[in-house]
Amino acid sequence: MFGWFNKHRRNIARELSELTESRREIVHAFEIERRRIERDLHDGAQQFVVATGMALGEAELIIQLAGTLPPALADLPAVLARAQQANAEGLAAIRATVNNVHPKVLSDLGLEKAIRDVAERAEIPVQVRVPHSLPTMPEGIIATGYFLVSEALTNAAKHAPQATATVVLAADDDLHISIVDTGLGGATITPGHGLAGLRERLAAFGGKLELSSPAGGPTVLRATIPLLLRRGESGVPNA
């Protein structure tokens, strides 16, 4: 009897370990793809736009050195100026996209400080609370938490510009995130939009995303993101 029980327990432990590893692979795959996109934008599209801007600048200089242009080319300086402006806006858009794919502040400062940075830049007042130090977490988990908070605060500012918001971060075996705003409620997770995509991503590795937004508010978004700890690992810092 005890032999069967011990064998059954070992089988369950093995299956749980295999499930954890498969979910860690999913998170890792998300992060690899994110980094690939970031690299392709930075080393590919961005470099071409920079080179185009330099060529336009050289053309402007040549025109300046040429002096008076013939009437047929009189509009050329204005056309080049518009092209330079469009080039600058395109470069700014690419750099913003690169930052959104994997924000540098996230790699440099970690989740808590990156969230505080998002809060400071938000269009509504945001308070960030972290009752206890956060443990070391896989990079994909950190990125997921960051983008969740960023999306939630962007939505709150868009739909409830007079509201305030509070973000709470805590961790045990999971990363727990709640975002509460004082808007008038009525929020939904709409298929095809940002929060719906994040909910699907969380579900892929065992996480949950729940929304409560009654008429009159407040709106509460809660996420539970598994840290995907291996056996013997702890979600408590320095444990």
Domain spans of the chain? 2-101, 110-226
**pTM beyond cutoff 0.75:** no
pLDDT surpasses 70 at 152: yes
Of 112-116, 132-136, 188-192, 223-227, which gets the smallest average pLDDT?
188-192
Please tell me the distance from the alpha carbon of residue 79 to that of residue 207, in angstroms, as a whole number: 52
- The H-or-E segment that residue 166 falls in is strand 165-171
pLDDT of residue 58: 85
Say what the pLDDT of residue 3 is.
60
110-226 maps to which CATH number? 3.30.565.10
Partners of 169 in beta bridges: 177
Task: Give me the mean pLDDT over the 5-10 stretch.
Answer: 53
pLDDT tens profile 167-219: 999 998 889 999 999 998 988 888 877 788 878 878 877 789 999 999 998 99
* Contact between 185 and 218 (Cβ < 8 Å): yes
Calpha distance 224→239 (Å, rounded) = 21
- Going by pLDDT thresholds of 50, 70 and 90, the confidence category of residue 91 is confident
